[in-house]
Amino acid sequence: MPWFIKSKTSEEKRKPVKDDIWVKCGSCNAHVFKEDWFNSLSVCPKCGFHGRLTAYERIGQILDIDTFKEMFGRISPSDPLSFVWTRGSYKDIVKQTQDKTGLNESVVCGIGKIHDIPVSIAVMDFRFFGGSLGSATGEKILLAANYAYEHKIPYIIFSASGGARMQEGTLSLMQMAKTCAGIARLREKKIPYVSVLTDPTTGGVIASYAMVGDVNIAEPGALIGFAGRRVIEQTIRQKLPDNFQTSEYFLEHGFIDLIVERKKLKDTLKNVLQYYNR
């Protein structure tokens, strides 16, 4: 690349630029009418880039109209370590994030229907602390799993997360074990669990519930990986290939079943769930 072209960080590339009328695609830089952008489910009509969705946008796209009933919505973070860093106290920043996003935590849970099939669903929202897995996130994901267990309905998790939440220390690490304990119990009643990996799914989330679906589905081009790219480059002291840690890379290496475009996701989920024969 010539020196006079400023290289974009991967973070900048992924964030579509929005203003009142136009949405600028985060990948090909095309300007798309806002209405067209949303009509195409926040997928760029020019290049097919899948933009990030909020939890409620996702729920609107996946569940049958007016079937969603939110549950466990009051559960929210506390500040178990009284964590303070350069940006301030965890407690204050949680409050600011809640005000900004209208969310109590990084996951929205509830029940609803996918083409008339009742499901328990958990949808992560990257805007809330990078979708990180904190104590309250883990509690909600476990409770939604328990609801599926008790009512014998399929469980679906949409992941979008940078990993465990540092500001809750080892308690956030424990959420990996807690959520997997909930998933493990589903198998004993032979209840389906489908994991959908969206951009990004990394760290403690890919290394817990996101990777152990009966069926693992990913959206195209999503960042999926365990260790951070920089950490790996420092460890092995060489540059990594461009497609490293993408949905496509994970499919190629045998860790996900399917890559599905957003517009086909709802129908694909129905197709998978209809094979649940009990």
Scanning 5-13, 22-30, 115-123, 180-188 for contacts with other proteins by CB under 8 A, the matching segment is 180-188
**In this structure, are strands 22-24 and 17-18 parallel, antiparallel, or unpaired?**
antiparallel
Under the criterion CB under 8 A, does residue 180 sit at the interface with other proteins? yes
Scanning 50-58, 152-160, 219-227, 258-266 for contacts with other proteins by CB under 8 A, the matching segment is 219-227
Nearer Cβ to other proteins (63/197): 197
Under the criterion CB under 8 A, does residue 117 sit at the interface with other proteins? no
The HSE-up count of residue 120 (CA atoms within 13 Å, CB side) is 24
Token reading at 200: 């990004």
- Nearest distance, CB of residue 138 and other proteins, angstroms: 6
CA pair distance 98, 74, nearest whole angstrom: 12
**Contact with other proteins (CB under 8 A): which of 25, 107, 108, 206?**
206
Residue whose pair of structure tokens reads 């790996």 in the numeric block: 232
- Nearest distance, CB of residue 106 and other proteins, angstroms: 12
Token reading at 138: 């883990």
In 102-228, where does DSSP find H-type helix?
135-151, 169-188, 203-206
- Nearest distance, CB of residue 146 and other proteins, angstroms: 8
Token reading at 104: 């109590």
**Contact with other proteins (CB under 8 A): which of 117, 232, 258, 259?**
232
Residue whose pair of structure tokens reads 């609801």 in the numeric block: 147
Nearer Cβ to other proteins (30/75): 75
Scanning 1-9, 43-51, 113-121, 158-166 for contacts with other proteins by CB under 8 A, the matching segment is 158-166
CA pair distance 143, 6, nearest whole angstrom: 46
**Contact with other proteins (CB under 8 A): which of 169, 263, 267, 271?**
169
Task: Give residue 245's region: left, alpha or beta (phi > 0; psi -120 to 50).
Answer: left
Under the criterion CB under 8 A, does residue 74 sit at the interface with other proteins? yes
122 DSSP β-pair partners: 109, 157
**Contact with other proteins (CB under 8 A): which of 25, 108, 157, 183?**
183
- Nearest distance, CB of residue 18 and other proteins, angstroms: 27
CA angle 91, 133, 53 (to 5 degrees): 100
Nearer Cβ to other proteins (212/258): 212
Scanning 4-12, 17-25, 59-67, 85-93 for contacts with other proteins by CB under 8 A, the matching segment is 85-93
Q: What is the largest distance, in Å, between two alpha-carbon atoms of the chain?
A: 62
193 DSSP β-pair partners: 155
Do the Cβ atoms of 232 and 251 come closer than 8 Å? no
Under the criterion CB under 8 A, does residue 176 sit at the interface with other proteins? yes
Query: Phi and psi (nearest 5°) for 108?
Result: -115, 130
Residues at the interface with other proteins (CB under 8 A): 74-78, 80-81, 83-87, 134-136, 138-139, 142, 164-166, 168-178, 180-185, 187-188, 203-204, 206-212, 225-228, 231-232, 235-236, 240, 244-245, 253-255
